[in-house]
Amino acid sequence: MSQTDAATMEMHSATGLPNRKVLMWAFIGSECMLFGSLIIVYMVYRGKSLVGPYPADLLNIPFITVTTFVLLMSSLMMVLALSAVQRGDMRWGKVWLFMTAFFGMIFLGGQVYEFTHFVHEGLTLQTNLFGGSFFLLTGTHGAHVTVGVIWLLSLFFMAQRGRLTQANAETVEIAGLYWHFVDVVWIVLFTLIYLLV
Amino acid sequence: MAVTAASPSGSAGHAHEGTYSGGLLSWITTVDHKRIGVMYGVSAFFFFLVGGIEALLIRLQLGSPESTLIDPDLYNQLFTMHGTTMVFLAIMPLSAAFFNFIVPLQIGARDVAFPRLNAFSFWVFFLGALFMNASFLFGGAPDAGWFGYANLTSTQYSPGIRVDFWVIGLLVLGVSSIAAALNFIVTIINLRCEGMTLMRMPLFTWMTLITSFLLVMAFPAITVGLVLLMFDRMFGTLFFNPMAGGDVLLWQHLFWIFGHPEVYILLLPGLGMVSEIIPVFSRKPLFGYAFVVYSGILIAFLGFGVWAHHMFAVGLGPVANTVFSAATMLIAIPTGVKIFNWIATLWGGSLRMRTPLYFSLGFIAMFIIGGLSGVMHASAAADLQQTDTYFIVAHIHYVLFGGVMFALFAGMYYWIPKVTGRMLSDRLGKLHFWIMLISFNLTFFPQHFLGLHGMPRRTFTYESGLGFEAMNLMSTVGSMFLGASMLIFIWNVLHMLRKGPPAGDDPWDGATLEWSMASPPPHYNFRALPVVHSRDPLWAADTTEAVPGDDPSVPEPHMPGPSYFPFVTAVGIVVMAAGGLTTALPVVAVGVALILFGIYGWAFQPLEH
């Protein structure tokens, strides 16, 4: 957020790592505990619902496999975006930034479809423990993807106006750290919620 | 040592009164860690008094049996808000005041790593604290205990918005704590001056770092618990509804996985302060520096593995109880190590019996008593007798008041001269100490016996003839004197602000970098960044070379300009919270809009004006 390591403040870094990158890593540590707690809630309540619909009735593994693949591909594009910005190729940098956000939006669209479908099938927050814990866990992840998409689009529009250049590669790198983390969380959720259904 | 010996006589012309000049707007937009530290300190002390008044009302009610002074409903609100206020609005932000003011000075930095994020943390804390206390005006304060056990907090047993105030208020305060902790992690890891290796860091900075890691790791657990509870109350989910298969113990696990590390979040900064003060007033470096550091790390690490000792009475079974008993007793080892280190530092030192040392010694004695009763109910078998009685109340107050508050007062007497540039009265300070020490013991020592005799906690009264009267009366009388001792402190501070003698740069002949500069420090702290070669740079022989200080030949460094975006963002968060509380979607939308405006303005505002 704030560019405190501006040269004017003569703030050197004792570790050689940029302040913002250390901040993001510490934040990711905290986020691990957040998702860890939510995952524990989901796992504790697995199989504890007293009424249906149950996970096996609803979860559509082939469909989610496709959106999972889309999200993983967006991580690849994030890597390409950072690489392009780092070598000063802003044309491709913009393309890959936009594509990363776009693939994120496809994933979110899939989640919106999935949630709507579940509600039509009779699963809401109030139905049973599965409904509450599933919507809360995947919804929290979806909210993180949404923040990431807004962040990436902000970077894209900054690049459009020429306010994001090779000199700001670190900004893109930090957004990338966040994006990859959110993807890794999804791999865990995909495994625990869908594959272990 | 000789280099700084001249300064106590006072170089008053040196002081930078300009550090605090400017109107209200300058305080709202400031990003200076020192001003933010002062704001944290003043507001936390205010809430300490609020929580204290709540405690005095509780004690008045319990002074005599079957008293009708306070009805059960108000009593529930008072003990809930007393606990919540003291933990989240008094002790944590009081520690944060010291993190803010002292840590950048101790590591030789001009500010924290993210000055605007720092301002944001403060405003979220302050507005969140007002939000929580506003509940008294709107239908009553939270009344389900500071632990908020499910399903006492369900809409069935806690209708109305009291518990919603508590849930949403704590979520808001969590944002502040995590943001501040992240900031201090980066600050301490990255902004140490040249030569300030990790094992040369002052102990207070070390404990701040450990506390910050505890905060970012522990708060997410309570955040999740609070979100589950909020969903149960607002959207009708079934997480804590046993009729639908929900597990009420899940709340206790989530709460105490946060709650026990929280104990060390409250305690470790105090341990750090005492580890600074005892060496300075013994004229000896800290005995076994590395042991004290590693003990702090070990305490933090073990602190995550003992949460179920708050749950011995819920029936987790003999295996779980045994494991958590043993783990809890293990914590006594690194804690005991620290106590021996402090005593060994005092041993053979040339003691200067000034107020900060008085409070540090009081801390050691009271903390040992609190630690011993803690080891007693670490044993699950003993705990079953003691749980939910006044024995536990006595224990936590020996740890949090006898321990933490004595240490925080030691820190205040030690560092306030640096903050204001003026000395507090040593005579009044010692009077404060003796009245506080005696009345504290009068208040809380009898509660051990009350608890062992079976007096339950969180109950608004007791019958006469059970043998509780005399000790309750002692406790109530003690608490009034305890309250009065705070008036001495406040008088001391007010008197100092008007007439206190100038402190000079280094009134205590301190060892660490904050004593190398004017009091109060200039807004940029260091003109040229210092270089250190030892753990006690001001005590080392090469002081003049090591700490360039306020050399007028070096140009004043540029500092980050003020910004109102952190304040706007914080206001947005509290507006959103208020909207959520009343389920008024337009208000939530206004809050979100303010947050977005604040964050984008913040991100695109250049740091320097």
Tell me, what's the ipTM? 0.93
Kindly determine whether residue B117 and residue A1, on different chains, have CB atoms separated by under 8 Å.
Answer: yes
Any CB–CB contact under 8 A between B117 and chain A?
A: yes
A55-67 residues labelled b (16+ CB within 10 A) or e (exposed)? beebbeeeebeeb
**B183, B98 contact by CB (below 8 A):** no
Any CB–CB contact under 8 A between B65 and chain A?
A: no
**B418, B515 contact by CB (below 8 A):** yes
User: What's the residue count for chain B?
Assistant: 609
Q: What is the pLDDT of residue A1?
A: 34
d(CA B522, CA B18): 8
Q: Of B19, B275, B345, B476, which is the active-site residue?
A: B275
Any CB–CB contact under 8 A between B227 and chain A?
A: yes
Which runs of consecutive H residues, i.e. helices, occur in B30-114? 33-62, 72-84, 92-106
Tell whether the model's pLDDT for residue B369 goes beyond 90.
yes
d(CA B111, CA B32): 7
Kindly determine whether residue B245 and residue A49, on different chains, have CB atoms separated by under 8 Å.
Answer: yes
Kindly determine whether residue A12 and residue B529, on different chains, have CB atoms separated by under 8 Å.
Answer: yes
Torsion sign (Cα): B193, B194, B198, B200? negative
Nearest CA-CA partner of B196 in B133, B118, B116, B105: B105
- Record the tokens describing residue A70, joined without a space: 């889309």
B354: confidence class by pLDDT, cuts 50, 70, 90: very high
Kindly determine whether residue A29 and residue B217, on different chains, have CB atoms separated by under 8 Å.
Answer: yes
Kindly determine whether residue B245 and residue A13, on different chains, have CB atoms separated by under 8 Å.
Answer: no
Tens digits of per-residue pLDDT, B457-497? 999 999 999 999 999 999 999 999 999 999 999 999 999 99
d(CA A51, CA A130): 9
Tell whether the model's pLDDT for residue B8 goes beyond 90.
no
Picking from A9, A22, A31, the nearest residue to B186 by CB comes out as A22
Any CB–CB contact under 8 A between B608 and chain A?
A: yes
**Secondary structure (DSSP) of B532-570:** --SSSTTTSTTHHHH---S-TTSPPPP-PPP-SHHHHHH
CA B519 to chain centroid, in Å, comes to 24
B543: confidence class by pLDDT, cuts 50, 70, 90: low
CA B468 to chain centroid, in Å, comes to 33
Nearest CA-CA partner of B503 in B490, B487, B517: B517
What is the pLDDT averaged over residues B340-359? Answer: 96
**B166, B145 contact by CB (below 8 A):** no
Q: What is the pLDDT of residue B550?
A: 62
Q: Is B495 a catalytic residue?
A: no
What is the pLDDT averaged over residues A34-49? Answer: 96
Residue B294: half-sphere exposure toward Cβ, Cα within 13 Å: 6
Which pTM does this prediction carry? 0.94
Tens digits of per-residue pLDDT, B283-340? 999 999 999 999 999 999 999 999 999 999 999 999 999 999 999 999 999 999 999 9
Q: Of B146, B166, B289, B515, which is the active-site residue?
A: B146
Picking from B250, B600, B608, the nearest residue to A6 by CB comes out as B608
Kindly determine whether residue B185 and residue A22, on different chains, have CB atoms separated by under 8 Å.
Answer: yes
**B299, B214 contact by CB (below 8 A):** no
Contact residues, chain A, for B602 at CB < 8 Å: 1-2
Q: Which residue of B has its CA nearest to A11?
A: B191
Kindly determine whether residue B114 and residue A128, on different chains, have CB atoms separated by under 8 Å.
Answer: no
Residue pairs spanning A and B at CB distance below 8 A: 147
- Record the tokens describing residue A160, joined without a space: 């459009």
Q: What is the pLDDT of residue B19?
A: 80
Contact residues, chain B, for A131 at CB < 8 Å: 237
d(CA A79, CA A173): 9
Kindly determine whether residue B115 and residue A4, on different chains, have CB atoms separated by under 8 Å.
Answer: yes
Distance from CA of B446 to the nearest CA of A (A): 40
**B331, B252 contact by CB (below 8 A):** no
Picking from A1, A6, A125, the nearest residue to B236 by CB comes out as A125
Any CB–CB contact under 8 A between B247 and chain A?
A: yes
How many percent of chain B have pLDDT more than 90?
85
Tell whether the model's pLDDT for residue B4 goes beyond 70.
no
Mutate to test the interface with A, among B211, B238, B600 (most CBs of A within 10 A): B238
Q: Is B275 a catalytic residue?
A: yes
Tens digits of per-residue pLDDT, B18-51? 788 888 999 999 999 999 999 999 999 999 999 9
Any CB–CB contact under 8 A between B201 and chain A?
A: no
Tell whether the model's pLDDT for residue B143 goes beyond 80.
yes
Kindly determine whether residue A1 and residue B111, on different chains, have CB atoms separated by under 8 Å.
Answer: no
What Cα–Cα distance (Å) separates residue B48 from each residue in A65, B84, B93, B108?
Answer: 54, 11, 10, 31
Q: Which residue of A has its CA nearest to B525?
A: A9
Amino acid at B429: G
Tens digits of per-residue pLDDT, A50-93? 998 999 999 999 999 999 999 999 999 999 999 999 999 999 99
What is the pLDDT averaged over residues A167-185? Answer: 96
Tens digits of per-residue pLDDT, B231-283? 999 999 999 999 999 999 999 999 999 999 999 999 999 999 999 999 999 99
B16: confidence class by pLDDT, cuts 50, 70, 90: low
B421: region left, alpha or beta (phi > 0 left; psi from -120 to 50 alpha) = left
Any CB–CB contact under 8 A between B536 and chain A?
A: no
**B399, B391 contact by CB (below 8 A):** no
CA B303 to chain centroid, in Å, comes to 17
Kindly determine whether residue B114 and residue A19, on different chains, have CB atoms separated by under 8 Å.
Answer: yes
Q: What is the pLDDT of residue B2?
A: 31
Specify the 3-state DSSP secondary structure of B467. Answer: coil
d(CA B444, CA A137): 44
Amino acid at B499: K
Q: Which residue of B has its CA nearest to A7?
A: B558
Q: What is the pLDDT of residue B553?
A: 74
d(CA A13, CA A15): 5
Any CB–CB contact under 8 A between B199 and chain A?
A: no
Q: Is B309 a catalytic residue?
A: yes
H/E stretch holding B471? helix B469-499
Contact residues, chain A, for B548 at CB < 8 Å: none
Which runs of consecutive H residues, i.e. helices, occur in B283-405? 289-303, 318-346, 355-378, 380-386, 390-397
Any CB–CB contact under 8 A between A34 and chain B?
A: yes
What is the pLDDT averaged over residues B386-392? Answer: 95
d(CA B276, CA B360): 10
Q: Would you tell me the crossing angle of helices B33-62 and B72-84 to the nearest 10 degrees? A: 150
Mean of the per-residue pLDDT values of chain B: 92
Residue B365: half-sphere exposure toward Cβ, Cα within 13 Å: 10
Q: What is the pLDDT of residue B527?
A: 85
Kindly determine whether residue B231 and residue A136, on different chains, have CB atoms separated by under 8 Å.
Answer: yes
Kindly determine whether residue B602 and residue A132, on different chains, have CB atoms separated by under 8 Å.
Answer: no
Any CB–CB contact under 8 A between A161 and chain B?
A: no
Q: Of B260, B354, B418, B432, which is the active-site residue?
A: B260
Contact residues, chain B, for A9 at CB < 8 Å: 110-111, 557-560, 607
Tens digits of per-residue pLDDT, B170-219? 999 999 999 999 999 999 999 999 899 999 999 999 999 999 999 999 99
Q: Is B310 a catalytic residue?
A: yes
Mutate to test the interface with B, among A9, A35, A146 (most CBs of B within 10 A): A9
Q: Is B264 a catalytic residue?
A: yes
User: What's the residue count for chain A?
Assistant: 197
Mutate to test the interface with A, among B175, B186, B233 (most CBs of A within 10 A): B186
A4-10 contacts, C-beta under 8 A, 24 or more apart: A4/B111, A4/B113, A4/B114, A4/B115, A4/B560, A4/B607, A6/B607, A6/B608, A8/B557, A8/B558, A8/B607, A8/B608, A9/B110, A9/B111, A9/B557, A9/B558, A9/B559, A9/B560, A9/B607, A10/B110, A10/B529, A10/B557
Distance from CA of B59 to the nearest CA of A (A): 38
Contact residues, chain B, for A48 at CB < 8 Å: 245, 247
Picking from B185, B220, B236, the nearest residue to A26 by CB comes out as B185
Tens digits of per-residue pLDDT, A82-137? 999 999 999 999 999 999 999 999 999 999 999 999 999 999 999 999 999 999 99
Q: What is the pLDDT of residue B9?
A: 34
Cβ under 8 Å to A: B residues 162-191: 178, 182-183, 185-186, 189-191
A10: confidence class by pLDDT, cuts 50, 70, 90: very low
**B328, B378 contact by CB (below 8 A):** yes
